[in-house]
Amino acid sequence: MPVITLTTDWGTKDYFTGAIKGDILSNCSNATIVDITHQLTSYDWITGAFIFRNSWHRFPEGTVHVIGVSSIISGTLEMIAFKHKNHYFVGANDGFFSLVFDDVPKDIYYVLDAKGNRVVPESRALGESAAFLAKGGKVSDMGEKLVEFNQKTMLNPVIEENLIRGTIVYVDSFGNVVTNIKRELIEKMASNRSFEITFRSKEYAIKQIDEYYFDVPRGHIMARYNEADDLELAINQGSASSLFGLKRGDTIRVEFK
């Protein structure tokens, strides 16, 4: 059974999410549709890319992934489709995919309608295109080769001799805050030195990285690496975001001694 995932900022209150599922099933009745998320803040590319980047590769090869995050922000925005690492992707050529992949996918195609016009990424076009690919259709049969792949850049940490200044890029539903600082970078710079992780002030300096939330007493602030090896700050059975007023875009410092 073909698998199709949906990642959008449409929510579930309106008809859009239900309608695209109807379009998919009308054209591929045996598809399994999986909602990655529909609960993004409108036009929030950064959070959408973070969630999708950490989930798409967990699906079986051949899965078709539909992206509808801020999909219609311009009347000239084109819909694209491509195959990458044996998965299929359909969405807007708005830079979202450049935040997901470290390398630029090859053989990207504009999706064309029956008259040869480029299609905008509205719900029906996304659903029908996903169904076409799920049934074994070829990306190269959907349109014409992409001329320019729109790219955006994710904010990278600032690195100094004894300091990493990172940024909170995501706050999950438990109030855990995820930074753009990777395990590899910390371990490379540490080189057996001690360090302090601080935010806002040094009052709550964290001097070690634990593996599990329950490695610290209940209510205590701690640091850990998540499944993607991103540095994360959390409170055992609490919300680091709420208690400390941390939000996306705030600075996290790792200072080496």
Q: What is the pLDDT of residues 19-52, one digit of tens each?
A: 999 999 999 999 999 999 999 988 888 899 999 9
Q: What pLDDT does residue 119 have?
A: 86
Give me the residues of the chain with pLDDT under 70, please. 71-76
Neighbours of 7 (CB within 10 A): 24
Cβ neighbors of 187 (< 8 A, separation 6 or more) are: none
% pLDDT > 90, the chain: 78
Return contacts of 244-249, CB within 8 angstroms, 24+ apart: 244/199, 244/200, 244/204, 245/200, 246/168, 246/171, 246/177, 246/199, 247/168, 247/171, 248/46, 248/47, 248/168, 248/169, 248/170, 248/171, 249/167, 249/168
Q: What pLDDT does residue 75 have?
A: 53
What is the DSSP-derived secondary structure letter of residue 257? -
* Pairing outcome for strands 177-182 and 230-235: antiparallel
Neighbours of 188 (CB within 10 A): 10
Tens of pLDDT, residue by residue over 207-245, are: 999 999 999 999 999 999 999 999 999 999 999 999 999
The residue among 19, 47, 45, 43 whose CA lies nearest residue 33 is 19
pTM: 0.87
Q: What pLDDT does residue 76 have?
A: 57
Q: What pLDDT does residue 71 have?
A: 56
Structural tokens at position 76: 């000239």
The residue among 223, 147, 156 whose CA lies nearest residue 185 is 156
Ordered structural domains, the chain, with CATH: 3-145 (3.40.50.10790), 158-256 (2.40.30.90)
